[in-house]
Amino acid sequence: MNCTEVRALLAVYGDGELDLPRAVALEQHLAGCADCTALLREQNALRSAIRTHAPYHRAPEALRARLHAALPAATDSDAPVAQRARRPRSTATLRRWSGALAAALALAIGINLLYVAQRGDDALADEVVAGHVRSLQAAHLADVPSTDQHTVKPWFAGKLDFSPPVHDLADAGFVLTGGRLDYIDHRNVAALIYRHRQHVINLFVWPAGSDTDRGSSVKAREGYNLLHWTAEGDVWWAVSDLNAEELREFEQRLRQAGATPS
Amino acid sequence: MIDPNTAQRFQAMAAPHLDAAYNLARWLTRNPADADDVVQDAYLRAFRYFDGFRGGDGRAWLLAIVRNTCYSWLRRNRSEQATMEYDDEIASLQSMSDPAELAMHVSDPAQLLLRASNQQQLEAALLQLPTEQREILVLRELEDLSYKEIAGITGLPIGTVMSRLSRARLQLRRCFEAMSTTS
């Protein structure tokens, strides 16, 4: 690629929308061309100036309330979603059943449990998205609005039977804005709220019940991205309308912060 | 009769995107009171069409409705401006059509960035852009949407999204340069 070709594609490249083969060719050119590199740097600086300094107009509370009132009643949207996906629990009653029937039932439940185990993450993902949506919907994002990890962490004491790790990632652009109690997977969990640019991230944390670390997996649901991993004995779910790449960066920062004692 | 479940499903889908809806309407109408009216109108319309929503990206679906509502509103209330339909070809003749030339058109990068980092000057420059260019920049930089998503919301071909975006950026630089020479 020569300078003319590179410059025609520079904006597309900077937007992260250039296909891989051409991106590679373009980067090869950049490595040896100071002029084009300077242009790219300037272009990126302008982009990030817009992203940082252009005002983002949030909907006024009055409009939110007016819409809520104008739309036909949907008042119990705050009801817990936990009644979905109940898992079969009691096997005690089985003993009262006669042999053949009991065997058939046990088989059915066994299959069902297998199914639940496979579907477990999917059902959880639904709950996590529902939790995220509820938090944005009811103007009930944070029970304890604070950017100070030393305020947020103690707030959970006495409300949860575990102490959630709370990290300040403002340096990396992920600003802690508060904490909240939520209910996921039939238990109380900690919800930590972060903001990255205009985007809200809900981070749900609860004890994993084992020390096995699990790598992260990404899911997409209803226009939101979810990232799920297990580390340091805790289950982590991050959900946001942020793109998957930046959500992964968020995860990396959290893992780093977790690895270094604060 | 409206099924309460439908209302609830609509609220659950639409409420989280209210900020995005308002931000877009605010940038397109350039006025808080008008943005209020447009968003309220758009949300009620969206609710009426909700049966036609087949799931998927709720934000894109809503933003498309907000956008259409904005444009009908602009046509109704600002006829003197809107009688001139935005024309990509004319716009490309007015600006330099060659993106390579565009990229080379740098007067003083440091000065430019200084202005772009000043919130008032940046906002003023963005508000000066033609609505159609401002819209693409807002969707791209403030809502962080991909070319494809923007094409879906605006109903434009991806090629047009790209060319409008590059013209919007060029125009923005020119606004900053004009500020530099007058101040």
Domains of chain B and any CATH numbers: 4-81 (1.10.1740.10), 85-182 (1.10.10.10)
User: Given an 8 Å threshold on Cβ–Cβ distance, is B141 in contact with A7?
Assistant: no
User: Given an 8 Å threshold on Cβ–Cβ distance, is A49 in contact with B122?
Assistant: yes
CATH number, span A101-259: 3.40.1000
The structure tokens listed for B95 are: 């600006």
pLDDT tier at A95, thresholds 50, 70, 90: very low
**pLDDT, mean of residues B136-151:** 93
Q: Is the pLDDT of residue A120 over 80?
A: no
Up-side HSE of residue A24: CA atoms within 13 Å toward CB?
2
CB B167 within 8 A of CB B106: no
Cβ neighbour number for residue A14 with a 10 Å cutoff: 17
User: Given an 8 Å threshold on Cβ–Cβ distance, is A223 in contact with B7?
Assistant: no
Q: Measured between beta carbons, which residues in chain A are less than 8 angstroms from residue B143?
A: 198
B82: DSSP letter: H
A189: enclosing H helix or E strand: strand A187-196
The structure tokens listed for B128 are: 């000066």
Which residue do the tokens 């817009």 mark? A50
User: What is the nearest CA distance from A31 to chain B, expressed in angstroms?
Assistant: 18
Q: Which residue out of A41, A67, A202 would a mutagenesis test of the B interface target, given it has the greatest number of B Cβ atoms within 10 Å? A: A67
DSSP output for A197-230: TTEEEEEEEEE-SS---EEEEEEEETTEEEEEEE
Whether this model's ipTM surpasses 0.90 comes out as no
pLDDT in tens, B17-61: 999 999 999 999 999 999 999 999 999 889 888 888 877 888 999
Q: Is the pLDDT of residue A223 over 50?
A: yes
Q: How far apart are CA A201 and CA A176, in angstroms?
A: 9
Residues 6+ apart with CB under 8 A from A255: A231
Select the more confidently predicted residue: B30 or A120.
Answer: B30
Q: Measured between beta carbons, which residues in chain A are less than 8 angstroms from residue B102?
A: 7
Cβ neighbour number for residue B93 with a 10 Å cutoff: 10
Strands (E), chain B: none
CB A229 within 8 A of CB A218: no
CA distances (Å), A214 to each of A3, A229, A230, A248, A256, in order? 45, 6, 5, 14, 15
CB A241 within 8 A of CB A224: yes
pLDDT tier at A100, thresholds 50, 70, 90: low
pLDDT tier at A176, thresholds 50, 70, 90: very high
Rounded to the nearest 5 degrees, what angle is found at the Cα of A242, between the Cα atoms of A237 and A243? 100
Residue of chain B nearest A78, judged by CA positions: B12
Cβ-nearest to A8 among B36, B99, B147: B99
Residue of chain B nearest A18, judged by CA positions: B147
The least confident of A2-16, A95-109, B6-20 is A95-109
Side chain identity, residue B51: D
Q: How far apart are CA A28 and CA A114, in angstroms?
A: 51
**pLDDT, mean of residues A56-78:** 75
CB A49 within 8 A of CB B113: yes
Q: Measured between beta carbons, which residues in chain B are less than 8 angstroms from residue A130?
A: 12
Q: How far apart are CA B129 and CA A168, in angstroms?
A: 38
User: Given an 8 Å threshold on Cβ–Cβ distance, is B8 in contact with A70?
Assistant: no
Cβ neighbour number for residue B1 with a 10 Å cutoff: 4
Domain coordinates in residue numbering, chain A: 3-45, 101-259
